[in-house]
Amino acid sequence: MSEANKSHRTGFPHLPSRPLLIETAAFALYFFTWKLCMAVTLARVPRLAEVGVLGSAYALLLAFTGLGYVLFWVVRSYLPSPKERKSLAAVVLAFCFGGSIVMMTTQRIEILLAASCVTVLALGYTGGGIHYGFSLVSSDSEFSGRALGIGMGASSLLQYAVEAMGLTPVAFVICVVLSLLTIMWFATRPAKRWRRNQDSTAKQAPTVGRRPITILVLAAVAMTLDYGLLDSVLVWKYASGKIVTAGLSKIVNALSLPLVGALFDLKKGNLRSLITVCAMFLIAVATPAAAEDEWAGVATVMAGVYGAFYVMYLSATFMRIAPDTSRPEVIASVGRVVSCLMGAVGALFARPFFESCGVVATVGVSCLLSIICLLVLLRDIAWGVTKGLGGGGWRGVWRRPSAAFRPVSRGGPRYLY
């Protein structure tokens, strides 16, 4: 564990560090705001247009969220001045505030989609900074999985509660504004000496090369396409009224996230790939259930359970190795970008494929993607099981052999600017 993290845990060796708690709260608020904006848009689209537009709208929102993360990468590369980043962060927040207001007031589908895309683009940019900051304070922590799972679970429950209570336009805008202002306030909380050193120290002596990152990206693509097969069908069924409510699925997903986080922390995180690949085969069971209207509710619950494993794996794995790479600000959110962009592809093509090819073909493709993911991660799974049983550390499989025991010094986050 880094000395920076230890310095914030004096006298409390079995509790998360203060910076990790701060970053967890920021991550939870970001995730809550993004999910709320997505839910509001997807709820309004069927009222302003035909139900068939919903899949395209969902894909558009996912794509612009991913582009927001890419924008963060570009800004970190080409705007080295903190002053310029602060100015851009202010512009991004202004677009997010303005977009959220237009989302709730317009009665035209074109304006709704344009405002929503601007809003999620701004949130994607903010999310890039949140992922980067969380990765810097969590990569050496034995609480990283639980912290992330609890933060995401709490934000999902809060988002569902806000929706269930009846979300008015004023309440929605207030939620967005307060969440983003609180995130900006959190950005000033970690120790200032961490902020001064984070750019240079996070990239010092990178020990993870391109090959393991490529393997993780391929696994992320397979997982996203697999999940997208079921998710897109369920979103369409819900919009068309064939699924009465998705409330139970959302609650199950929110409650599953902390449990998944605890599982990911077992044996120093060595078993997370094995656990996630095993959970992937839930999709093969849920897909036939989604084909029958009377079993669609069961399919939504299964999707909620697997969604917890899927989201946690793509977020936690990339954020945990990011500080050991040469571009931590990029790698920390690569999983999220893959999820958004490939999810957009799935949203466009999953339902037509399901309807034209049938249940058997869809289940076959789902099983094939699970097997591909298993093969891609086979070395990591085998290493993780061996080290997990032997109590070894988690990073060895991803590090370059010549640098496996090289100490890496890190600083803390200055993530939005």
The pTM of the full predicted model, rounded to 2 decimals, is 0.83
Q: How far apart are CA 191 and CA 307, in angstroms?
A: 34
Residue 119: name the closest of 131, 103, 130, 105 by CA: 103
pLDDT digits over 360-377, tens only? 787 788 788 888 888 888
At residue 358, does pLDDT exceed 80?
no
At residue 113, does pLDDT exceed 90?
yes
Of residues 193 and 94, which shows the higher confidence score? 94
* Full DSSP string of 340-356: HHHHHHHHHHHHHHHHH
User: What percent of the chain has a predicted confidence (pLDDT) above 70?
Assistant: 79
- Residue 412 is predicted with a pLDDT of 38
Fill in the DSSP letter of residue 397.
T
Where in the chain are the domains?
14-399
pLDDT digits over 119-129, tens only? 999 999 999 98
Site of tokens 């949140």: 130
Mean predicted confidence (pLDDT) in 269-284: 82
- Residue 231 is predicted with a pLDDT of 75
Residue 65 in contact with residue 119, Cβ under 8 Å?
A: no
CATH superfamily of 14-399: MFS general substrate transporter like domains (1.20.1250.20)
Mean of pLDDT over the chain: 79
Token pair belonging to 39: 């839910």
At residue 102, does pLDDT exceed 70?
yes
Q: How far apart are CA 151 and CA 155, in angstroms?
A: 6
Residue 314: name the closest of 333, 288, 341 by CA: 333
Bridge partners of 399, per DSSP, are 208
Read off the amino acid at residue 280: M
Residue 380 in contact with residue 215, Cβ under 8 Å?
A: yes
- Residue 143 is predicted with a pLDDT of 86
Read off the amino acid at residue 209: G
Read off the amino acid at residue 4: A
| φ, ψ dihedrals at 284, nearest 5° | -65, -30
- Residue 203 is predicted with a pLDDT of 53
Q: How far apart are CA 260 and CA 275, in angstroms?
A: 9
